[in-house]
Amino acid sequence: MKGKLLILSIVFVTLIVTALLWLYIKDFIEKHDIDENANGYYIMHIKEDVQRT
pLDDT in tens, 1-53: 788 999 999 999 999 999 999 888 888 777 766 555 555 555 556 666 666 65
pLDDT value of position 16? 94
Would the pTM count as exceeding 0.85? no
pLDDT value of position 30? 72
pLDDT value of position 24? 87
Rounded distance between C-alpha atoms, residue 28 and residue 10, angstroms: 27
pLDDT value of position 19? 92
Rounded to 5°, the CA angle 31-18-35 comes to 5
